[in-house]
Structure 1
Amino acid sequence: MNLDHDSCYAIISARDSRYDGRFFTAVKTTGIYCRPVCPARLPKKENVIFFPSAAVAQEAGFRPCLRCRPETAPDTPAWRGTSSSVGRALRLIEEGALDTGSVEQLAARLGLGDRQLRRLFLKHVGASPVSVALTRRLLLAKQLLHETKLSITQIAMASGFGSIRRFNESFQEVFKVAPSFLRREIGVDGPGVSSAELQVRLRYRPPYDWEAMATFLKARLYLGVETFDRGVYRRSLRVDGRICLIGVSRGKGDWLDVRLRLQDLTAVPKVIARVREGFDLAADPEIISGHLGQDEALRPLTLRRPGLRVPGAFDPFEIGIRAILGQQITVAAAIKLGAALVQHLGEPLPSVWASETGVARLFPTAEAILASPLDFLGMPQARVRCLKAYCQAYADSPDFFGGETATLVSRMQAIPGIGPWTASYVALRALRDPDAFPAGDVALARGLALPDGTRLSHDDLEARSQNWRPWRAYAAQHVWTELASG
């Protein structure tokens, strides 16, 4: 958004919650930055500076407010949708790409030079990749200090710091207090938890169409890997070889309640990132609906579902398998195939985990699928060869889902049996590209037919979708959701 000083000051004067997370207010006299809804006394107009993100405010030398807690603001930074390379980099940073790797390695995963990546960040974010990563780690640590009973050492591990000493030094430098002091101040005490279990709140910008998200997930459950019971979605995940369980439900405010059980606390950043992506928590529904609502056909859909999200990927590899299994058959038939795949090839979870949650297995690995004849699926051999070719391509490329959307689409279409629709659909969900659009989708052509019933051709649909950029994925989701509800 345009950070006009007068407009931003009017917003913080009114404490307008609609702008929470869209910018941050830094007070020059105190050295603190706040959310627009901060309950503290309003600072003088001449004493404030406005920043588009917490990372930029911290890089400018300001520290987070302890009252309004910037780490709890909805994740809707100003650069979303402005650069696909930056968006992809931010997702990788959120998953911990710079916790153990370098900027050069991150740039290589994106198919960029490290100088080019730094220039893109300065242009679109206003802060360096390293500053963004450090801000993410510190704000996650602060959230865990407030919302969990993990020990200081456990929080250092869970927020991506390599050592307790490095964590304490970084925290002290930014917040001007030690983590232990803050823990005592907020009244959370205890030596930590004996097992890697925690519960956190992940905020979003309202409205959020939870019913549409729940309906989508329920219709596509792979039994054994996922359950949806009494309003709680549960599933297993394998993150960098480590097993975890997640449970997600709608909170009483503008957040999702997330329960995690992990083998290793160092997986926390990546698991939280996967949940954010899976439930599309970074979307700004007001901006998206306002843009798509300019189209006459989409306007009634955006009015009916102003908080619609695009379901993302908890596991990008799994999305590719789901898309291939679903080629040219119904959703119900594809789900049966997926459940059979899980039952035969999915690794069992520890029995205690399974008995408590109903989630019994992990999604099969590419290696397990390659080693099996897959005769239990009863699929045509051409489809079996396609599935195995995808698994082989994924196993051969450590960063199969790295790079731009066009790169992934090209990789997918190079696999025999995968066409433009499957490749675009995988990019839409696995890369969380808000502008991905499967123009060849038959359902989209039906849902966007002209008043006389004439269906748009692939080229016509592609041409019409240009007006929906950069939110074409949301346009597609609106049409699909409308058709499913009918």
Structure 2
Amino acid sequence: MNLDADAAYLVVKARDARFDGRLFVGVTSTGIYCRPICRVRTPKRENCRFFDTPAQAEAQAFRPCLKCRPEIAPGPGLAWSVMDASRTLARQAADWLDAQSASGESPSLTDLSGHLGVSDRHLRRIFQAEHGVTPMQYLQTRRLLLAKQLLTDTRMPVSQVALASGFSSLRRFNAAFAQSYRMSPSRLRGDAADDTTQPPVDAITMSLGFRAPYAVDRFMRFLTQRAIPCVESVDGLQVRRTVRAGVIAEAAGWISAEFQPEASRVRLAFSPAWVNASARVASAVRRWLDLDATPHTIGAALSSLPGEEGLRLPGSLDAFELAVRAVLGQQVTVAAARTLARRVVERFGTPVQTPWDDVNIAFPDPTRIAKTPVEQIAELGIIRTRANAIVEIARAWPELSGLMHGATSTEPLIAALCELPGIGPWTAHYIAMRAMSWPDAFPPNDVAVLKAMKHLFNTQSQREADVHAAAWRPWRAYAVLRLWNSLENLP
């Protein structure tokens, strides 16, 4: 954040939700740090210390507030196109540590620097400059906050929480928790010291925060229109779906996300088999539901467009599923693409045991589709060129998925996609827009976008649309959503 301490204090006094997850306040009189939206009595200015991240606050011996729960705060938001090379590398390092946080492994600085192809010294310097802490301090904070979240939101035994949050033993977990938070895990929860009598859990539950406003109704309408029967179901403020094996965890499973708008939270429930992937679940859901968006910043950039505030960019839990759906949606209606996707799932999907009768099949694995003759896909009513494109995507998926993981640019993925038969620039950009949550996506020659822009701004070509849309960068994907929605009001 580029706020001085006096300005940061005004944010805390106003409980300004725009800065939630981007600013934290430590109170020296209590030793606790909070989100700026915390409802406790505002501390005195002289007792406040301000931090950009929880890791910075914990490095100064502050412990997280039990009321506002910093562990569920939204992230700082995406910055695809505004970082220099050092900041990009520091963000890549943080992403890698996030992925390691619940793995149970103990990565070293040498492991991390080797993964990124830089020296230990250079990595330590740029990471400290960007995040305000060392890489290992960052990793420890991530693990402790995940543990605090699981202790608060679930009834998992403390021993299982220790393993799920990345600690190799209960003894090390108890020691680290007590040292950082000055209390034992069982005291935080209020459990008896012996937790072996805890019954098995039916689901892992977690809460995730977001910055208001969030146009939940609009987001759920988008999902409803595209939900593939047996894979995904939307009911009011809740979406339920399956996820195939290998996407979030080794085993296939299920997930439920229910919006709680009044609390600016999403309540998750997911397969117990994914307990050791809890950190990956939370990260994937944040991208899927766009929980880290900064709606006021985006809204200000798109003020020339009609549309409600708080519009979010729907991501994807399964990038391969999204890519297949993008091909099926070429030059057909949303409803028609949904019908074709249902046929693909019914023919090639895998049964999954879930708590619901209407959501019980996982989307096909790319390995299976890659081995499927094109004729078997085409006989589902899919044009042969598109059936062939789906098979080619599946065959290239090991390379394509590698271009998505940890990437800071969409250009390599788009180039690789466009080399495949049946994949043009629009499809490639749309896949990047949703599978990678690219906020500046602007799919070329989108018929609906060009129609809306002609109506609103009298643009006559893609070139004129590109020139006009430059003012919306780096949020053009949100502009695309607003433009699509604007056509609903046209005669």
The TM-score range, normalised by the shorter chain, is 0.7 to 0.9
Aligned-pair identity (%): 37
In the aligned structure 2, how far is the partner of 1:468 from the partner of 1:118?
Answer: 35
Cα drift, residue 31 of structure 1 = 3.8
* Match in the other structure for 2:341: 338
Q: Structure 1 residues 147 and 326, CA, compared in 2 at 3 Å: closer, same or farther?
A: same
Specify the code of the residue in structure 1 equivalent to 2:481: Q
Residue identity in the other structure for 2:453:
L
Once the two structures are TM-superposed, the CA of residue 250 in structure 1 deviates from its matched residue by: 1.9
Task: Name 1:473's counterpart in structure 2.
Answer: 477
What is the TM-score when the length of structure 2 is the normalising length? Answer: 0.86
Give the whole-Å Cα distance in 1 for the aligned partners of 2:79 and 2:212: 19
Deviations 1:153-205 (A, max 9, x none): 22223333343333223322221222122122899988444145122222111
The change in CA–CA distance for 1:290 and 1:310 in structure 2 (over 3 A counts) is same
* 1:328 equivalent in alignment to 2:331: yes
Aligned twin of 2:24? 24
For the pair 1:265 / 2:270, whether they are aligned, the reply is no
Task: Look up the equivalent residue of 2:255 and give its one-letter code.
Answer: I
What's the offset of the Cα at 1:306? 0.5
Would you say 1:456 and 2:456 are equivalent positions? no
Q: Give me the whole-angstrom Cα distance separating, in 2, the residues matched to 1:163 and 1:211.
A: 44
Structure 1: which amino acid aligns with 2:241? R
Q: 1:314 to 1:50 in 2, by over 3 A?
A: same
Deviation at 1:413, TM superposition (A): 1.6
**Alpha-carbon distance in structure 1 between the residues aligned to 2:186 and 2:345:** 44
Q: Does 1:347 align with 2:357?
A: no
Structure-1-length-normalised TM-score: 0.87
Q: 1:387 aligns with which of 375, 379, 390?
A: 390
- Match in the other structure for 1:242: 251
Give, as a single letter, the amino acid of the residue that structure 1 aligns with 2:461. L
Q: What amino acid maps onto 2:169 in structure 1? A: S
Distance apart, 1:146 and its partner CA: 1.5
For the 8 Å contact 2:242–2:362, the answer to whether it is kept is yes
- Tell me how far 1:92 sits from its aligned partner: 5.4
Query: Which residue matches 2:153?
Result: 147
1:436 alignment partner, SS class: coil
CA shift digits 1:299-346 (9 cap, x unpaired)? x32xxx101100011111211111122122222221111111110111
CA, structure 1 residues 127+413, in 2 after alignment: closer, same or farther (shift >3 Å)? farther
User: What number of residue pairs does the alignment pair up?
Assistant: 475
In structure 1, what is the Cα distance between the partners aligned to 2:398 and 2:223? 27
Which residue identity does 1:21 align to in structure 2? G
- Quote how far apart the aligned CAs of 1:91 are: 5.2
Aligned pair partner of 1:414 in 401, 419, 422: 419
Structure 1 residues 398, 217: CA separation in 2 closer, same or farther (over 3 Å shift)? closer
- 1:171 and 1:446 map into 2 onto residues whose CA distance is 57
The structure-2 alpha-carbon separation of the partners of 1:438 and 1:397, relative to structure 1 and needing over 3 Å to count, comes to closer
1:336 aligned counterpart, secondary structure: helix
* 2:228 is the alignment partner of 1:212: no
Q: 1:313 to 1:106 in 2, by over 3 A?
A: farther
Q: Deviation string for 1:199-231 (max 9, x for gaps)?
A: 222211111111111110111011111112354
**After the TM superposition, which residues 78-227 of structure 1 pair with which residues of structure 2 at under 5 Å, given as runs?**
82-83=82-83, 93-96=97-100, 99=103, 100=105, 121-184=127-190, 191-195=197-201, 197-227=203-233
* Residue type at the aligned position of 2:445: G
CA contact (8 A) 1:109 1:399 kept: no
SS at match of 2:320: helix
Tell me the distance in 2 between the aligned counterparts of 1:113 and 1:447.
50
> Where does structure 2 lack aligned partners over 5 or more consecutive residues?
none
User: For the residues of structure 2 that align with 1:484 and 1:114, how far apart are their CA atoms?
Assistant: 54
1:423 corresponds to 2:428: yes
Q: Are 1:482 and 2:491 an aligned pair?
A: no
Name the SS of the counterpart of 1:334 in structure 2.
helix
Decide whether aligned partners of structure 1 residues 108 and 411 sit closer, same or farther in structure 2, where only a CA change above 3 A counts. Answer: farther
Distance in 1 (alpha carbons) for counterparts of 2:460 and 2:414? 25
Secondary structure in structure 2 of the residue aligned to 1:240: coil
More divergent stretch after superposition (57-66 vs 196-205): 57-66
- Describe the shift of the 1:68–1:255 C-alpha distance in structure 2 as closer, same or farther (beyond 3 A): closer
Report the Cα distance in structure 2 between the residues aligned to 1:110 and 1:481, rounded to whole angstroms: 41
CA 1:219–1:197 in structure 2 vs 1: closer, same or farther (change >3 Å)? Answer: same
d(CA) in 1 for partners of 2:311, 2:71 = 24
Question: Could you give the per-residue CA deviations for residues 243-300 of structure 1, whole angstroms, max 9, x where no partner exists?
Answer: 221112222521122221232411222122222111110011111101221xx3x1x3
Query: Residue 396 and residue 448 in structure 1: after superposition, are their counterparts in 2 closer, same or farther (change >3 A)?
Result: closer
| SS in structure 1 at match of 2:451 | helix
Deviation at 1:40, TM superposition (A): 4.6
CA contact 1:224–1:360 (8 Å) conserved in 2: yes
On the 8 A contact 2:24/2:57 being kept in 1, the answer is: yes
Distance 1:186 1:5 in 2: 42
SS in 2 for 1:249: strand
Q: Mean alpha-carbon deviation: is it higher for 186-195 or for 421-430?
A: 186-195
